[in-house]
A and B are shown apart, each in its own frame.
Chain A
Amino acid sequence: MDRIPILKMGEYLLVTIQVDMHDQLALQLQEDLTERISRESAAGVLIDISSLDVVDSFIGRMIGNIAAMARVLDADTVVTGMRPAVAITLVELGLSLEGVHTALNVERGMALLREKVAARHA
Chain B
Amino acid sequence: MPSESPRFSDLVARHESQLLADWFAQQKASRATRLDLIGEAELEDQSRRFLRAFRAALESGELDDISRPAWDEVRDFLQEVSRSRAMQGFRPNETASFVFSLKQPVFALLRQEFAKAPEELAAQTWTLSMLLDQLGLYTTEIYQQTREEIIVRQQQELLELSTPVVQLWDRILALPLVGTLDSSRTQVVMESLLERIVSSGSEIAIIDITGVPTVDTLVAQHLLKTIAATRLMGADCIISGIRPQIAQTIVHLGVDLGTVVTKATLADAFAVALKRTRDSRTHVIEGA
Contact = CB atoms under 8 A, between A and B. Distances in A.
B280 interface: yes
Interface stretch (B73-81, B87-95, B229-237): B229-237
A83 B233 CA distance: 7
B167 to A, nearest CB: 15
A82 B229 CA distance: 10
A114 B153 CA distance: 50
Contacts of A80: 234
Interface residues of A, number: 25
Query: For chain B, what secondary structure do more than half of its interface residues adopt (helix, strand, loop), or is it mixed?
Result: helix
B228 interface: yes
Contact of A115 (B203, B233, B234, B283): B283
Nearest to B190: A88
Contacts of A111: 280, 283-284, 287
A102 B233 contact: yes
B287 A87 contact: no
B231 A96 contact: yes
Contacts of B230: 87
B6 to A, nearest CB: 64
A103 B198 CA distance: 11
A87 B232 CA distance: 6
Contacts of B197: 84, 104
Interface residues of B, number: 22
B191 interface: yes
B194 interface: yes
A83 B27 CA distance: 62
B231 A88 contact: no
Contacts of B280: 108, 111
A14 interface: no
Contact of A84 (B191, B201, B231, B284): B191
B160 interface: no
Contact of A104 (B190, B198, B284): B198
A35 B190 CA distance: 38
A79 B233 CA distance: 8
B195 interface: yes
B120 to A, nearest CB: 70
Contacts of A90: 229, 232
Interface in A88-122: 88, 90-92, 96-97, 102-105, 108-111, 114-115, 118
B233 A96 contact: no
B225 interface: yes
Contacts of A114: 283, 287
Contacts of B287: 110-111, 114-115, 118
B234 A102 contact: yes
Contact of B203 (A88, A92, A104): A104
Interface in B189-227: 190-191, 194-195, 197-198, 201-203, 225
Nearest to B287: A114
B225 A91 contact: yes
B229 A91 contact: yes
Interface of B: 190-191, 194-195, 197-198, 201-203, 225, 228-235, 280, 283-284, 287
- By Cβ-Cβ distance, the 9 closest A-B pairs, closest first, are A84-B194, A103-B234, A102-B234, A96-B228, A87-B229, A87-B232, A104-B234, A111-B284, A114-B287
20 contacts: A79-B232, A79-B234, A81-B234, A82-B233, A82-B234, A84-B198, A84-B229, A87-B229, A87-B233, A88-B190, A88-B191, A88-B194, A91-B229, A92-B225, A96-B231, A97-B232, A104-B233, A108-B284, A111-B284, A114-B283
